[in-house]
Structure 1
Amino acid sequence: MLSFPIASVREVIARGLTDAQANGGFRNPHYGLQPGKDETPGIWLVGDHGIYLMSNGKLPEGARPMVLYADECDPRSNDDWFTVKRSTYGGDDGIDFLDAEQIEAMMAASPDATHLCIAFTPDTMQIFMVERP
């Protein structure tokens, strides 16, 4: 299971919206293979060098998106990040689009939650909110 502090998730979503407004929309997570698909407010769950959420607003040339590493899979603070990545997201790199409206509705329905969590099974990805002390 991967977890992300809800306050930081909100910041990533807000940054994507700000970038999109300033730069003409949202980036395509499908490497241009599906033009228009998922070019809406959202966040990307990225499995790469660690696992992180990334803002999806278009960026000016040379700018970098906002990134939020999973508490359990941050290569800057967890020497075992690659094992965590392989056991949760898998060995390949990839991007999964998460709709901002759905994520925000889940956060609003769980006002006491502190973390957005993502768990993987062989066939599904489950997203839920938890409250941590």
Structure 2
Amino acid sequence: MSILTFKTSDLRPIVEHALSSEMPPEFYGQKVTGPSLALVGDQGVYLISIGTPGQMKPDGKGRVVAYAEGINPDVDDDWYDAKHNTFGGDDGADVLPWAAEILRLIKLDHQTIRIRITDGALELAQ
């Protein structure tokens, strides 16, 4: 089992984008059933809104992302090992239809949001 932790200050704009955007019917072959985020593992592990149009950084160079604590290649020297130990060695993305629930937790003043990974299953951890 692994736990990924995300700062709500980083997540709020991503969640708000997901809730206010149109959702695609699929994201990388996975069915989308409502306002959703994607948990992505590649250069680090992070959450993005999958709303359309995509949520881009103000400079237009890439998407707005919220990195998991300790797995940000821009600030964490051992991000690669941490990614490998939590998300696995392969790159990929998982659709998480939890945008409304995450915003509810943010409004309750949670400072972090945690995602538990157990045998390939993902769940929002309290």
Asked whether the two chains share a fold, i.e. TM above 0.5, the reply is: yes
The equivalent residue for 1:47 is 41
Deviations 1:107-129 (A, max 9, x none): 16x82421001232224323224
Confirm or deny that 1:121 pairs with 2:118.
Answer: yes
Could you tell me which of 87, 90, 97 is aligned with 1:89? Answer: 87
SS at match of 1:65: coil
Shift of 1:68: 1.0
Aligned Cα root-mean-square deviation (Å): 2.5
The equivalent residue for 2:102 is 103
Question: Could you say if the C-alpha distance between residues 17 and 125 of structure 1 is closer, same or farther in structure 2, counting changes exceeding 3 Å?
Answer: closer
Give the structure, 1 or 2, with the largest relative contact order (CA under 8 Å, sep 6 or more): 2
Aligned-residue identity in percent: 32
TM-score w.r.t. the length of structure 1 is 0.73
Contact 1:45 1:97 in 2 (8 A): yes
Contact 2:8 2:111 in 1 (8 A): yes
Rounded to whole Å, the distance in 1 between the matches of 2:17 and 2:120 is 31
The equivalent residue for 2:68 is 70
Rounded to whole Å, the distance in 1 between the matches of 2:72 and 2:91 is 15
Question: Could you say if the C-alpha distance between residues 59 and 123 of structure 1 is closer, same or farther in structure 2, counting changes exceeding 3 Å?
Answer: closer
The equivalent residue for 1:16 is 18
SS at match of 2:23: coil
SS at match of 2:124: strand
The equivalent residue for 2:77 is 79
Larger of the two Rg values belongs to structure: 1
Contact 1:15 1:66 in 2 (8 A): no
Rounded to whole Å, the distance in 1 between the matches of 2:66 and 2:16 is 13
Q: Which amino acid aligns with 1:51?
A: V
Contact 1:73 1:81 in 2 (8 A): yes
Q: List alignment gaps of at least 5 residues for structure 2.
A: none
Shift of 1:77: 0.3
